[in-house]
Chains A and B, each alone.
Chain A
């Protein structure tokens, strides 16, 4: 078992399986989209999706190719620290729901930017929308890399051809499908993904000698002694508490700023339904996440004890390689279809967010008299070109597909999350603070990332900088500090008072929390704001101190 040209020997079989899967998605998307006549239908599925469907759709949107392929690749590289990094990603929808999702749902927002426009005004919303488009494209980039890798393995074609063929097929589907199709499809995709990941994993586990194959997500303890013997360092934490802490600003807070995830909360038929969806999301995602850790474990186990060799360039294919080695080809074809489903549902969310951001949050804001039809057409165009942009970026991809996705989390955490969180919970937050936070925080995050100025980084550890962990640990608190301090100061400068909409902001904050009246004591704590600033200063200073990596 040595590394080589990993591909299906019978591409026709793979094509038939993938073709049938696509046909199912197109039919469901077409049937669901016949009713999609307005922008609201297109972006949030008419805001009447049930709890179970929505919970599954939330999980499917979140479970991207990063889950299917990316996690196992980085477990092979980083081992247990990457599992520990990934675990907290399950918090995204629960935290969005309890911190601001229900408030924005109550407000009837299409997207987080819609809230930012009403809360901070047009300029701040356009800045936020531009950053969110960058976030969505970077997120979509990771999916495109995965799609290309999958098609490469499926057809035995070069990466570039796989990228163009697979990418255009999927962008075409999403442009035709809209969110209603995507939501109903996402629920189906969730079943397909779970089935096509966990069942083949059971077979692989059985093949490598695991006795707990009947429930692979948790029952692989019998393989632990052999693993410890072959790879004694597998369970080592490797990094300091500072590295583990940096996960919170970069990824936990970062997830709160992801536009395509928050939009799933708005598709709920009611607030109660949104909260029930969150429970379904947590259960199903916990199951699949645990299975991916098991897949990563088995991957390392197979390379350490079974003589399997996977080159660094093929790391993103580990899940498929394990299936090629240990399972019949038709099973691998199903796994590939599952991987494509994972990429499809997440790309749907990303590209629809780009469509909503450009047509609703930028163009309709600048030209409020634009017709419904023109706005919808613009949305479809943006969805298509957003997809094309991610295909072009994937031509020269980073080493791991997960890198661009997790970096996008940090950018969302810097530019969007503080504006939404503070805007929902603190009446004093104003447009000057929001603009300062998004612009300075966003630029700082980009500058200290290794992609623009490789010499200006905080740790020198390529993955820590590349994943945005170090950058976000500095830029996220800076963004919170600027938002609070600049708002606090500008609210007390009399000459600026006529440029602020303090009364309307106050009423908006009360209304989105469900109140029909306005009381000065609500959502105006100076103590809370002060504590947040002090804590953020401490974290930012800690981020600047040596990481010793």
Chain B
């Protein structure tokens, strides 16, 4: 039973990695869609779209709808990661103390944070 809980704990350790990857990935995506002017300054395009030069209208559309779409995605993933962190906290708190002999347990908490998480 304890082994199963620990295994679940290891699997759910991914919440931290997901949080870091999500933040880096979403930041890069936001910067990209908001700075299409930089991309077109490196790779100019001489074409028209919807009656405007592509290099004018694409940055405007991406800066509105692209960013809007990303905020929806970021909101959903952010909420999901929060839930995963909460689940992982519960799981870690439910794991009994590791046995005194044997290899160090990577899942067991090293130190307990002194203050309770608040404001959520």
Contact = CB atoms under 8 A, between A and B. Distances in A.
Given A247-B38, A248-B35, A517-B89, A289 B63 contact: yes
Contacts of B22: 98
A289 to B, nearest CB: 7
B41 A88 contact: no
Interface of B: 16, 19-20, 22-23, 26-27, 30-31, 34-38, 40-42, 44, 50-53, 55-56, 59-60, 62-65, 67-68, 70-72, 74-75, 78-79, 82, 85-86, 89, 92-93, 109-120
Interface of A is mostly: helix
Nearest to A90: B67
A80 to B, nearest CB: 6
A203 interface: no
A513 B85 CA distance: 9
B5 to A, nearest CB: 15
Contact of A516 (B35, B64, B117): B117
Contacts of B114: 507
Interface string A100-111: 001001111000
B75 A514 contact: no
Q: Does more than half of chain B's interface fall in helix, strand or loop, or is it mixed?
A: helix
A244 B64 contact: no
B60 A88 contact: no
Interface residues of A, number: 66
The listed residue with most A CB atoms (<10 A of its CB), out of B55, B64, B72, B89, is B64
Given A252-B31, A520-B110, 7 more contacts: A88-B31, A91-B31, A98-B74, A98-B78, A514-B85, A515-B89, A522-B16
B109 A286 contact: no
A104 to B, nearest CB: 10
A94 B60 contact: no
B110 A84 contact: no
Interface of A: 47, 80-81, 83-85, 87-88, 90-91, 94-95, 97-99, 102, 105-108, 218, 221-222, 224, 235, 237, 239-241, 243-245, 247-248, 252, 270-272, 275-276, 278-279, 281-283, 286-287, 289-290, 293, 425, 503, 506-507, 510-511, 513-522
A87 B59 contact: yes
